[in-house]
Chain A
Amino acid sequence: MLRSFIYVFLAAILTENYILTKFLGICPFLGVSKKLNTAVGMSAAVTFVMLLATAVTYPIYMKLLVPKGLEYLQTIVFILVIAALVQLVEIVLKKYIPALYKALGIYLPLITTNCAVLGVTMLVIEKSGTDYGYAHALVNALGTGVGYLVAMVLFAGVRERLEDADVPDFLKGLPITLIAAAILAVSFNAFAGIVDGLVGTV
Chain B
Amino acid sequence: MKKGNKNLGREFTKGIIKENPVLCLLLGTCPTLAVTTAAVNAIGMGVAATIVLVLSNVVISLLRKVIPDTVRIPAYITVIAGFVSIVQMLVKAYAPSIDESLGIYLPLIVVNCIILGRAEMYASKNSVLPSALDGLGMGVGFTAAMLLMGMIRELLGAGTLFGVTVLPESIFTPITIMILPAGGFFVFGLLVALAQKLRRITPKEKEQSGCGGCPLAGKCSAVKGKEDCGNA
Contact = CB atoms under 8 A, between A and B. Distances in A.
Interface of A: 20-27, 30-32, 34-35, 38, 42, 72-76, 79-80, 83-84, 106-107, 109-110, 112-115, 118-119, 122-123, 126, 170-171, 173-179, 181-183, 185-186, 188-189
Contacts of B196: 170, 173-175
Contacts of A176: 189
Contact of A79 (B110, B184, B197): B110
B215 interface: yes
16 contacts: A23-B31, A27-B211, A30-B29, A31-B210, A32-B222, A32-B229, A72-B88, A80-B74, A80-B81, A109-B220, A112-B73, A112-B111, A113-B113, A113-B116, A113-B216, A126-B104
Interface in B195-232: 196-197, 210-211, 214-216, 219-223, 227-232
Contact of A181 (B112, B185, B221): B185
B54 interface: no
A185 B180 CA distance: 9
Contact of A175 (B82, B182, B190, B210): B190
A123 B108 CA distance: 11
Most buried by A among B74, B210, B221: B210
B26 A174 contact: yes
A83 B190 contact: no
B230 A174 contact: yes
B104 A123 contact: yes
A45 to B, nearest CB: 10
Interface of B: 26, 29-31, 33-34, 73-74, 77-78, 81-82, 84-85, 88-89, 104, 107-108, 110-113, 116, 177, 180-186, 188-190, 192-193, 196-197, 210-211, 214-216, 219-223, 227-232
Nearest to A17: B181
Contact of A186 (B111, B182, B197, B232): B182
B113 A27 contact: yes
Given A75-B81, A107-B222, A26 B30 contact: yes
B231 A186 contact: no
B104 A23 contact: no
Contact of A26 (B29, B110, B214, B221): B29
A24 B89 CA distance: 22
Residue picked from A22, A34, A175, most chain B C-beta under 10 Å:
A175
Given A113-B116, A122-B107, A178 B182 contact: no
Nearest to A33: B228
Contact of B84 (A75, A83, A188): A75
B189 A177 contact: yes
B231 A174 contact: yes
Contacts of B116: 113
Contacts of A84: 74
